[in-house]
A = this chain, B = another copy of it.
Amino acid sequence: MVIRTGPVTIPTAVIKRLPMYYRYLADLDRKGISRISSRELSQIMDITSSQLRQDLSYFGEFGQQGFGYRVEDLYGAICTIIGIENIYPTVLIGAGNLGKAIAKYPGFRRRGIELVGIFDLPDKAGEEIEGIPVYPVNILQSFLLENIVRLGIITTPAESAQQLANELVKGGVSGIWNFAPIPVFVPDDVVAENIHIGDSLLSLLFKIKHKENNELAPN
């Protein structure tokens, strides 16, 4: 097994499928399944075997003819490719329902996320969520100066999202996971992932409406 580590241009479509590989392999690994054929793996993931093999070829050489993949190796490799072996000290801004739900998200630790501080308006400061203190957001700047923080998560209303993103960037984070209902913009050396929960609701409504008309192309 060779994990490719040198520069290689990975198509966006392949990158988008990486989390799916992670989910299925983590599940197989937890179930104690040690070996899987490319046919079986592609079937449970609902992609073709040739797409599976092509995707994995971007990352290295896995599997052996007639033996299939070792789940643990492939899972470990996908984790390395995604960068999950790292630890990301993280601040969460917004201690409302969504912020609380995210702070309690069971997959966090497995993905290397270590919450070091939660911030909200001063009237919520002093609370604790999952053992992490809620600080007033006006001390965010000094907190970022005094602590190494690699990720910021924003779950505030739209109005304050961009300003908070700017403060996070100034404080040296590498990435922002933004749940506010507007996208935030960051400089080229920082990554922002804007998650629009409502988008998947619209996809659902669209599919309901168009299902009966057979207007949907196969995936």
Binding site for B on A (CB under 8 A): 7-12, 15-16, 18-20, 22-23, 81-84, 86, 88, 96-98, 100-102, 104-107, 111-113, 150-151, 174-175, 177, 181, 189, 191, 193, 195-211, 213-217, 219
Query: Do A202 and B97 touch across chains, with their CB atoms under 8 A apart?
Result: no
Give, as a whole number of angstroms, the nearest-CB distance from A127 to chain B: 13
**In the complex, chain B residues whose CB is within 8 Å of the CB of A7:** 213-215
Residues of chain B lying within 8 A (CB to CB) of residue A104: 97
Contacts of A100 in B (CB 8 A): 97
Residues on B with C-beta less than 8 A from A193 are: 200-201, 203-204, 207
Task: Say yes or no: A203-B16 contact (C-beta < 8 A), given A83-B208, A181-B107.
Answer: yes
Some 21 contacts from A to B, beta carbons below 8 A apart, are A7-B214, A9-B217, A12-B216, A12-B219, A15-B216, A16-B203, A19-B198, A19-B199, A81-B206, A83-B208, A86-B209, A97-B104, A105-B197, A111-B201, A111-B205, A113-B201, A150-B208, A174-B208, A175-B207, A191-B211, A193-B201
